[in-house]
Amino acid sequence: MNYHNSIQAFEKARQLIPGGVNSPVRAFKSVQADPIFIKKAKGARIWDIDDNEYLDFVASWGPLILGHAHDEIVEAVKEAATLGTSYGAPTLIETEMAELITAMVPSVQKVRMVNSGTEATMSALRLARGFTGRDLVVKFAGCYHGHADSFLIKAGSGAITLGLPDSPGVTKAAAQNTLTAEFNNLESVKKLFEERGHDIAAVILEPVAGNMGVVLPEPGFLKGLRELTEQYGSLLIFDEVITGFRLAPGGAQERFGIEPDLTTLGKIIGGGLPVGAYGGKAEIMNQLAPEGPVYQAGTLSGNPLAMAAGKVMLKTLKDNPKIYAGLERKATNLEAGLSANLDKKGIPGVINRIGSMMTLFFTQEKEVKSFDQAMKSDTARYASYFKKSLESGIYLAPSQFECLFVSDAHTDDDIQCIIAASEKALKSL
Ligand code: PMP
């Protein structure tokens, strides 16, 4: 493939934008490649500015469950745009969105719209602190909750990919209020609660970790956290920015049958437009201004274009449960194909999958159930695999510690196509 235009574009972008990108992982740094610049996308396909075509398994890092430029979403956004792009005043569609979200995610009785996942988690944490009158938060090493100061402590996603889990610029005071535990290790959380439980406002986690690669919760882990937080009067926050509406209409909490106090939601709601939301028990949400004293606001929150896209997205998922069956079937076939390829080529690896999200870890480990195990992965091998896949027209996340997403737009043929490309890529390792 020829990447001439992308290489030139990156050179220019680097002179004007830090690292040439507006979000770090996009720069392909950890896979030692130059990023491709995207021109357009439709369905399961994406094209770069050199006119190379790729089957896309990044899906804008998760939100595009229905694929790119979904006809109905595009129509809804166009129609909304003709009526004005922002009013900073209430609209009917915001209540419709709240109705949809509360119907699909029963633990969410009231919901507030924001503009990103970062805003959702940052605001949910402030609310948890305001509600409990406590300062501390417990997070898990390798989980990522956006880039607010409180969460850039042993953070996952681009932060681990680039070796920057604790960012300079986060004050000691902020860092001191964040305690970290080990994912899937209930004892590590119990220990923190025994020491400081009555000062802990909340435990926040991705109920299925996606930002250290996919790591599923072990049986009893989520239930244990639910019991522990209840015992100490702390709140349990599920960050479902990736898992919400993806693993089931009601997200991971529906799939695992555990009700958090607060839930953060993100990019999926906007079908690719900048959106986030947080919600939960009415008693807690009523603490937010103007009803209560905890302040949080946003000029563009509930933006009409984002709400128009979101309404189509959520209604489509709610009214078509067969979408989830299709995702499951395609993702199961993909997992089986990738696994057979590893066996055939004698390459050690572990595939973690739930529903339509999965990660192939290049590792000698027999299983990946913890952050430490995830970190033992061979990132150099992933980088080679990534580059070979890209050359075969398969666009994967440019990091070992991310997810591969299957969308409704992928066909069974697309799945066969990535399995064949993966065999070729593995052969070259
Ligand atoms: N939480 C989780 C679980 C995420 O995966 C992400 C981003 N991938 C965020 C929060 C932050 O969302 P955003 O990038 O929209 O700020």
Give the model confidence (pLDDT) of 253-305 as tens digits: 999 999 999 999 999 999 899 999 999 999 999 999 999 999 999 999 999 99
**Choices 1.10.8.80, 3.40.640.10, 3.40.250.10, 3.40.50.300: CATH for 71-319:** 3.40.640.10
Q: List, by residue number, the catalytic residues.
A: 144, 239, 267
Q: Is the CB of 239 under 6 A from ligand 1?
A: yes
Rounded CA-CA distance 345/347 in Å is: 5
Same fold, 4-69+321-427 and 71-319: no
The domain spans of the chain are: 4-69+321-427, 71-319
- CB of 123 within 6 A of ligand 1: the answer is no
Tell me, what's the pLDDT at 318?
97
- Per-residue pLDDT, 119: 98
Mean pLDDT of 410-429: 97
Among protein residues, the one with the nearest Cα to ligand 1's atom 10 is: 145
* Residue whose C-alpha is closest to residue 392's, from 347, 423, 357, 349: 423
Q: Is 402 in the pocket of ligand 1 (CB under 6 A)?
A: no
Question: How far does the centroid of ligand 1 lie from the alpha carbon of residue 239, in Å?
Answer: 9
The span from the CA of 419 to the CA of 170, in Å, is 42
Query: ipTM exceeding 0.85?
Result: yes
Give the pTM. 0.97
Residue 262 contacts residue 124 (beta carbons within 8 Å): yes
- Could you tell me the two tokens for 104? 């699909």
pLDDT of residue 316: 98
Q: How do residues 61-83 score in pLDDT, each as one tens digit? A: 999 999 999 999 999 999 999 99
| CATH fold of 4-69+321-427 | Aspartate Aminotransferase, domain 1 (3.90.1150)
Whole-number Å distance, alpha carbon 20 to ligand 1 midpoint, is: 21
Peptide bond into 207 cis (omega under 30): no
Convert the pLDDT of each residue in 89-113 to its tens digit.
999 999 999 999 999 999 999 999 9
Distance 266 CA to ligand 1 centre (A): 7
pLDDT at 165: 73
Ligand 1, residues 118, 208, 215: which to mutate, most atoms within 8 A of Cβ? 118
Pocket test for ligand 1, best of 23, 140, 206, 211 (most atoms within 8 A of CB): 211
Whether the Cβ atoms of residue 98 and residue 110 lie closer than 8 Å to each other: yes
* Residue burial 17-34, b: 16+ Cβ < 10 Å; e: rest: eeebbeebbbbbbbbeeb
- Is pLDDT at 156 greater than 90 in this prediction? no
- Whether residue 145 has its Cβ less than 6 Å from ligand 1: yes
User: Which atom of ligand 1 is nearest the CA belonging to 240?
Assistant: 3
Please work out whether the CB of residue 118 comes within 6 Å of at least one atom of ligand 1.
yes
* Ligand 1 and 139: CB distance under 6 A: no
> Is the per-residue pLDDT at 160 higher than 80?
no
Q: Ligand 1, from 61, 183, 241: best to mutate by most atoms within 8 Å of Cβ?
A: 241
Q: Is the pLDDT of residue 39 over 90?
A: yes
Model confidence band, residue 162 (pLDDT cutoffs 50, 70, 90): confident
d(CA 411, CA 407): 9
**194-213 pLDDT tens trace:** 999 999 999 999 999 999 99
pLDDT band at 114; cut points 50, 70, 90: very high
Distance CA(37)–CA(11), nearest Å, equals 11
**Quick check: 166 pLDDT over 90?**
no
Q: How many CA atoms lie within 13 A of 283 on its CB side?
A: 5
Distance from residue 112's CA to the centre of ligand 1 (Å): 17
Instruction: Indicate if ligand 1 lies below 6 Å from the C-beta of 267.
Output: yes
Query: Which residues are registered as beta bridge partners of 47?
Result: 40, 53
Q: What is the pLDDT of residue 31?
A: 94
Instruction: Please tell me if the CB atom of residue 146 comes closer than 6 angstroms to any atom of ligand 1.
Output: yes
Q: Is the CB of 396 under 6 A from ligand 1?
A: no
With beta carbons less than 8 A apart as the criterion, state whether 266 and 289 touch: no
CA-nearest residue, atom 12 of ligand 1 = 117
- Looking at every residue in the chain, the average pLDDT score rounds to 96
Residues 45-61: tens digit of each pLDDT: 999 999 999 999 999 99
Range 300-328 average pLDDT: 97
Residue 402 has pLDDT above 80, yes or no: yes
- Tokens 């989520």 sit at which residue? 222
Mean pLDDT over 175-193 rounds to 96
Residue 163 scores a pLDDT above 90 = no
Distance separating alpha carbons of residues 401 and 238, to the nearest angstrom: 20
Given a cut of 80, is residue 310 above it in pLDDT?
yes
Nearest of 148, 155, 231 to residue 189 by alpha carbon: 231
